[in-house]
Amino acid sequence: MMKKTNRKCSMCGAVGHWLGMRYERKIDHWQDFKHEGVDTYYEVQTCMKCVAVEKGITEKEAHAIVMAAPIADKK
């Protein structure tokens, strides 16, 4: 059983703490007009190793990119 704080990487399937993963919202449908359906999206979480491979950088640089988002509002 997974802890509440753990998430599964969407690329490799590794399980880790949510703070150590990059979080993105991908939009399925965007409501342009009032008569259309509401906005729908899905969440994508990617581990640091997959971020490093995706961007072609080292894991240390990927760690700095991933951790920049959670602490940006605290600066």
Q: What is the pLDDT of residues 11-42, one digit of tens each?
A: 898 898 888 888 888 888 888 888 888 888 88
Contact 21, 45 (CB under 8 A): yes
Residues 6+ apart with CB under 8 A from 74: none
Confidence (pTM): 0.69
SS3 67: helix
pLDDT for the residue 18: 84
